[in-house]
Amino acid sequence: MEIAANEIVFYVLSVVIVVFSILTVTTRRILRAATYLLFVLIGTAGLYLLLNYHFLAVVQIMVYAGGIVVLFIFSILLTSHAGDKAEPLRLKDRLLGLSAALAGVALVLPVILMNTFGPTTPVAADEQIDMTVIGSALMGAGKYQYILPFEAISILLLACIVGGILIARKR
């Protein structure tokens, strides 16, 4: 049985993502948690590349890996000392978290694996989306175009800038 290259890439990426997401939530040093989160986010960008959404992979790397993780690391360094360790979890808390997570997995996995997803449109596009298509859909006002959410997000970001300054400034 031959294995295609994209399958190998998928399996490597999924191992990376699963291992590092578990490490993110179990490590006791918070700076390491942020670093592991960075690996998970880069792995996700790899998945987007695998699915031929190149623009989304670039956005993921730029906004998440370049912006949010850096913000996290700065705020961790501002609020804790190097080498700080979280105190070990009480057994009760660990059991509570584990049972919630496992119950969720047990609920969702059978649904995913037993459901048959039928394609509702003929499968054609396996290639990447052209940049001009993305740009005109983002800026157009017609049907299936997204100028309104785009503008709403721009106002949201403006409100965030004002709010962030207002909350975090020195009194």
Partner 1 sequence: MQENDKKLRIMNIPMQYFLVLSTFMFFAGIYGFITRRNMLAILISLELVVNAVDINFVVFNRYLYPGSMEGFFFTLFSIGITAAESAIAIAIIINIYRNLHNIEVRNMNKMKH
Residues 90-109 that bind partner 1 (CB under 8 A): 93-94, 96-98, 100-102, 104-105, 108-109
Among 86, 131, 139, 147, binds partner 1 (CB under 8 A): 86
Rounded to a whole number of angstroms, the minimum distance from the CB of residue 122 to partner 1 is 8
The CA R_g of the chain, rounded to the nearest whole Å, is 21
Q: Which amino acid is at 148?
A: L
Task: State the binding string over 152-171 for partner 1 (x if CB under 8 A, else -).
Answer: -x--xx--x--xx--xx---
Rounded to a whole number of angstroms, the minimum distance from the CB of residue 73 to partner 1 is 10
Number of residues in contact with partner 1 under rule CB under 8 A: 83
Query: Binding of partner 1 at residue 42 (CB under 8 A)?
Result: no
Among 116, 141, 142, 143, binds partner 1 (CB under 8 A): 116
Rounded to a whole number of angstroms, the minimum distance from the CB of residue 141 to partner 1 is 14
Query: Binding of partner 1 at residue 8 (CB under 8 A)?
Result: no
Q: What is the 3 state secondary structure string of the chain?
A: CCCCHHHHHHHHHHHHHHHHHHHHHHCCCHHHHHHHHHHHHHHHHHHHHHCCCHHHHHHHHHHHHHHHHHHHHHHHHHHCCCCCCCCCCCHHHHHHHHHHHHHHHHHHHHHHHHCCCCCCCCCCCCCCCCHHHHHHHHHCCCCCCCHHHHHHHHHHHHHHHHHHHHHHCCC
Contact positions with partner 1 (CB under 8 A) in 10-39: 10, 14, 17-18, 21-22, 24-26, 30, 33-34, 37
Rounded to a whole number of angstroms, the minimum distance from the CB of residue 146 to partner 1 is 5
Residue that the structure tokens 């609020």 belong to? 79
Q: Which is nearest to 85 in space by CA: 33, 37, 39, 35?
A: 33
Contact positions with partner 1 (CB under 8 A) in 117-146: 117-126, 129, 133-134, 137-138, 144, 146
